Structure 1
Amino acid sequence: MSDTTTTRRRWRGRRLRAVLAGGLVLGVGAAITLAAWTDNEYATGTFTAGQFNLQGSIDGATYADHASAAGAATLSFSTPFSNLAPSQTVYAGFWLRLAAGTTTAANLQLVGYTGTGAAAPQLTYSIYLIPAAGTCNATTATGTAIATGLLSSTTATSTVVPLAAPVGAAAGAAQQLCFAVASSASLAQNTTATGTWQFTATST
């Protein structure tokens, strides 16, 4: 074999090794390029609870929280609530609304009641839904009552009364409940009774 042939083969071998080496370099370069084709997206959410507050009023003007039996609003019954005779009825209005800042509407319901005193078995109560601007008396306390019971009873149930959610910075529209408490024909002299009603508003 001539020196020329040997030299040619050596050059071919060198070229082949160079091409292979170049291919390896190109392969590594391609892997790096593919790894660089990545991107990220993130998403987040913030959650805030709403507010809910029920208020009551005995005059339709001044509202406050009465959240326990010990702090119950004292209803202003008509005369002669402190000098009852047999077969008489006295009346008192009680306004309820959702306070400003409340973020949902609600359903209102009488859920609990306690009655004490010697006169309690001789007294009955009925609660009527009347216009907020109305006067609670014998004329307006008519129709179907949302709740009725004996003052000495230990349980109470009522139909649901809707309460509107506040709009803007104002409180929600008020609903007036008209209480009618009636004495029986057999009411004993010099006896007293106390009734406490619990209303619950559930957000809707």
Structure 2
Amino acid sequence: MDSGIAVAESRRSRRTSRQSRRRRTFARARALLVGALVLGVGASATVAAWTDNEFASSQITAGTFSIVSRTASAPTFAAHDAAANAVTLPLNATNLYPGQSRSAWIQITTAGSVPGTVQLTGVVAPTNGANGDTLRDSLDVRIVPTTAAANTTPTCDTGTTGGITYTGIGNVPTTLPAQTLQANGTNVVNYCIIITVRADAATTAQGGIVTPTWTFTGTTG
């Protein structure tokens, strides 16, 4: 064999051997690195933190809201929560004629209840026909709301001042200002209601009958 060829073959062999060794060294290093990473992940996965807990519980309840009323003819507070069991408002308004007035009070409070408000929200005034319609439209209605401490009796007569006068019982608005009711009957709201047959009431009001039902609505929240 030519000596030049032999030398060339020897050099190629040495280069191949070195490349092979480098590849084996790289493979071993990569395997060690991967192993180290896997070991690291495994080691971190086995580390556990110590923990402890504290717990708190609560109870939440809803209150109740209820109003009761009384008048001079029914002096004990009670629920009158439907038109069918309405308390009597003793106006004593019989045999009226032009210029006469009558008055009566109703007192409202809370009954073992959360606080709220109360307001006059409506008046339904059926009549006995045409004469009653004329009488209804000939009535001036003055409403005087006040608040007072519990266990007090209101003062209400035809001379009571204040409030607002409405012409015609059917014209009493349904959005009168609300009055404050404290919790558990701590205070009372009084409504003094005064009716007057106007001096210019028509003759056709004679014999008329009007039977108003007054609605007072309590609200909380």
Task: Give me the TM-score of the superposition, normalised by structure 1.
Answer: 0.71
Cα deviation for residue 156 of structure 1 reads 2.5
Q: In the alignment, does 2:48 pair up with 1:48?
A: no
Equivalent pair of 2:105/2:154 in contact (CA under 8 Å): no
Rounded Cα–Cα distance in structure 2 between residues aligned with 1:62 and 1:155: 28
Distance 1:134 1:111, change over 3 A: closer
Distance 1:63 1:202, change over 3 A: same
Cα deviation for residue 38 of structure 1 reads 2.5
Q: In the alignment, does 2:107 pair up with 1:92?
A: no
1:156-204 Cα distance to aligned partner (Å, 9 max, x none): 33122111222xxxx3322221110111232521110011221112225
Identity among equivalent positions (%) equals 30
1:34-71 Cα distance to aligned partner (Å, 9 max, x none): 43623233333221001110111013840111112222
Equivalent pair of 1:98/1:163 in contact (CA under 8 Å): yes
Query: Which residue matches 1:134?
Result: 154
Query: Which residue matches 1:125?
Result: 141
Cα deviation for residue 135 of structure 1 reads 2.6
Figure out how many residues of one structure are paired with residues of the other and give that number.
172
Rounded Cα–Cα distance in structure 2 between residues aligned with 1:175 and 1:154: 19
Give 1 or 2: higher helix fraction.
Answer: 2
Rounded Cα–Cα distance in structure 2 between residues aligned with 1:198 and 1:45: 40
Deviant stretches of 4+, over 6 Å: 27-30
Distance 1:111 1:68, change over 3 A: same
151-160 vs 42-51, which moves further: 151-160
Matched residue type, 1:45:
S
SS at structure 1 position matched to 2:83: coil
Query: Which residue matches 1:160?
Result: 178
Cα deviation for residue 84 of structure 1 reads 0.7
Rounded Cα–Cα distance in structure 2 between residues aligned with 1:43 and 1:148: 58
Query: Which residue matches 2:50?
Result: 37
Rounded Cα–Cα distance in structure 2 between residues aligned with 1:144 and 1:91: 13
Cα deviation for residue 29 of structure 1 reads 9.0
Q: In the alignment, does 2:97 pair up with 1:77?
A: no
SS at structure 1 position matched to 2:85: coil
Equivalent pair of 1:116/1:152 in contact (CA under 8 Å): no
Gaps spanning 5+ residues in structure 1: where? Answer: 1-23
SS at structure 2 position matched to 1:63: strand
The structure having more radius of gyration, on CA atoms, is 2
